[in-house]
């Protein structure tokens, strides 16, 4: 067999599906796994694609099987294991060979790895891959960060395996070093916000309107035909319809309400905070997952405090309220995406990446977890208004926000009055209300800071760096 176009290390769920996708699209691939049994098993699974798969038992054999300069995808657990794998590989590689980390790496690790290889002649690509198992097998969204030269080497094979939105491949080179992994991290941050907002709406339907899982599935199914059409709404309907094969009821009703998280949401929040960009929807979603995991503490608090002593959600026109929920979710989603893109825009400057916003929206339209028609609208908005300060002030989105924020306000108010927690939905409303108000309340904060710490303040008439005067009022001893 001719030398392989590309190599892949790590035949776990994501790695093996990606390898089969690569082979299926006509590329020859060399594969290696830490345990040879898994490599043999994978080769059997490859079936008809075996003639494009070169299974290797040793690293020497694996490296020799790939055409130089060798692109090698490393698809293993993010963290130290990647560094170890790279160290093992390095002695066998030659100048211009490219190690590609396709895991959910922290972009700061990617920057470090990129830098460490700079003078070695070897190259590194940090590649975000989204779409889960199914996406890896049949077409993920791929976010590439690295040198343009290394991108050119892998462009053809990555384009062949990427998802397509109306024929347009969902893969792009987004910039140097950590750009790809940063964009993937923010993709996941948005994913967290999207999922949390859907869960809050589900909570209003379940606990406020007392609807059964199958009825809620009908609602989501309807919404998936409208402006909320997306993978996450689609799977929400599917999971709500699934039956528990033990008890027979809806499976979702017997799933423990403790959400896991592997780090990308938290990294999104940390990086947003580092750059001073508000990402309140993602923050609310990460905090909600943390709170969800404190199950025993929440149960104890319910015993001590009881549920809020408030009237149950009273809805006179159920259909109109459900229409409000749909619009509220759309408005809140716009807020979360606007924040995610604002973080990307700040990072682009901070790390000199020149991130292409319309391209990022474009490659998220298919293949990834947040894929939706809505991302096509974002692509258009950023293409038409590339210098917009924020997605919500682009003409198309400003119009939608104005059309839907009333529904968000009604839904958040109703939920709050009924004691139903809606932290992410409320965060979006707070964001809109703060962002659109030219005269805010931080003058009060500045006055307090200047009073107790002589931090100075700027005046509304343009004069800057004032201090006091604060009069001679004494602070009481008790305060």
Which residues form the interface with ligand 6PG (CB under 6 A)? Answer: 104, 130-132, 188, 191, 260-262, 264-265, 368-369
Least CB distance from residue 367 to ligand 6PG, whole Å?
9
Distance (Å, whole) CA 432 – CA 418: 23
| Dihedral sign (CA 401, 195, 308, 249) | positive
Least CB distance from residue 360 to ligand 6PG, whole Å?
14
Distance (Å, whole) CA 48 – CA 466: 76
Residues annotated as part of the active site:
184, 191
Least CB distance from residue 10 to ligand 6PG, whole Å?
15
Complex with ligand 6PG: residue 178 or 265, whichever CB lies closer:
265
DSSP assignment string, 242-302: PBPTTTSSBGGGGS-S-----SHHHHHHHHHHHHT---HHHHHHHHHHHHHH-HHHHHHHH
Residue 204's alpha-carbon distances to 199, 313, 326, 431, in angstroms, are 9, 9, 12, 21
Complex with ligand 6PG: residue 33 or 130, whichever CB lies closer:
130
Contact 174, 198 (CB under 8 A): no
Pairing of strands 6-9, 71-74: parallel
Least CB distance from residue 171 to ligand 6PG, whole Å?
14
Least CB distance from residue 199 to ligand 6PG, whole Å?
12
Distance (Å, whole) CA 121 – CA 101: 17
Complex with ligand 6PG: residue 79 or 132, whichever CB lies closer:
132
Distance (Å, whole) CA 356 – CA 345: 9
Q: How many CB atoms lie within 10 A of CB 396?
A: 14
Least CB distance from residue 263 to ligand 6PG, whole Å?
6
Which candidate, 55, 53, 65, 57, places its Cα nearest to that of 3?
Answer: 65
Complex with ligand 6PG: residue 78 or 93, whichever CB lies closer:
78
Complex with ligand 6PG: residue 107 or 457, whichever CB lies closer:
107
Distance (Å, whole) CA 190 – CA 193: 5
> Minimal CB distance to ligand 6PG: which residue?
130
Complex with ligand 6PG: residue 264 or 404, whichever CB lies closer:
264
């Amino acid at each position: 067999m001719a030398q392989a176009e590309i190599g892949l290390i790590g035949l776990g769920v994501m790695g093996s599906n990606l390898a089969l996708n690569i082979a299926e699209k006509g590329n020859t691939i060399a594969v290696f796994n830490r345990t040879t049994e898994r490599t043999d098993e994978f080769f059997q699974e490859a079936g008809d694609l075996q003639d494009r798969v070169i299974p290797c038992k040793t690293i020497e054999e694996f490296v020799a099987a790939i055409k130089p300069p060798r692109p090698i995808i490393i698809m293993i657990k993010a963290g130290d294991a990647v560094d170890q794998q790279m160290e093992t590989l390095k002695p066998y590689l030659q100048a211009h060979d490219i190690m590609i980390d396709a895991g959910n790496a922290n972009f700061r690790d990617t920057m470090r790895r990129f830098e460490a290889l700079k003078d070695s002649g070897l190259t590194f690509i940090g590649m975000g891959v989204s779409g889960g198992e199914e996406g890896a097998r049949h077409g993920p969204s791929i976010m590439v960060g690295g040198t343009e030269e290394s991108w050119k080497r892998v462009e053809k094979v990555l384009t062949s395996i990427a998802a397509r939105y109306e024929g347009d491949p969902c893969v792009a080179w987004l910039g140097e070093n950590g750009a790809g992994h940063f964009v993937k991290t923010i993709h996941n941050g948005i994913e967290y916000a999207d999922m949390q907002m859907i869960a809050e709406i589900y909570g209003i339907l379940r606990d406020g309107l007392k609807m059964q899982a199958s009825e809620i599935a009908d609602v989501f199914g309807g919404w998936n035909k409208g402006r909320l059409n997306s993978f996450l709404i689609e799977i929400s309907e599917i999971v709500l319809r699934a039956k528990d094969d033990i008890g027979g009821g809806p499976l979702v009703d017997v799933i423990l309400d403790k959400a896991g998280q592997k780090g990308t949401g938290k990294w999104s929040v940390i990086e947003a905070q580092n750059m001073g960009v508000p990402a309140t929807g993602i923050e609310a979603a990460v905090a909600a997952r943390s709170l969800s995991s404190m199950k025993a503490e929440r149960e104890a608090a319910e015993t001590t405090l009881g549920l809020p002593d408030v009237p149950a959600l009273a809805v006179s026109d159920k259909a109109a309220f459900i229409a409000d929920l749909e619009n509220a979710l759309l408005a809140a989603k716009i807020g979360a995406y606007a924040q995610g893109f604002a973080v990307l825009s700040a990072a682009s400057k901070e790390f000199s990446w020149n991130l292409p916003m319309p391209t990022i929206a474009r490659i998220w339209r298919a293949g990834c977890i947040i894929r939706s028609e809505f991302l096509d609208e974002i692509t258009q908005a950023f293409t038409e208004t590339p210098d917009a300060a924020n997605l919500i002030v682009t003409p198309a989105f400003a119009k939608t926000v104005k059309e839907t924020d009333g529904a968000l306000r009604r839904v958040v108010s109703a939920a709050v009055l009924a004691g139903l927690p809606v932290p992410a939905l409320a965060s979006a409303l707070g964001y809109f209300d703060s962002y659109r108000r030219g005269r805010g309340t931080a003058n009060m904060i500045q006055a307090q800071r200047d009073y107790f710490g002589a931090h100075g303040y700027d005046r509304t008439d343009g004069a800057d760096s004032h201090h006091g005067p604060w009069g001679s009022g004494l602070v009481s001893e008790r305060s």
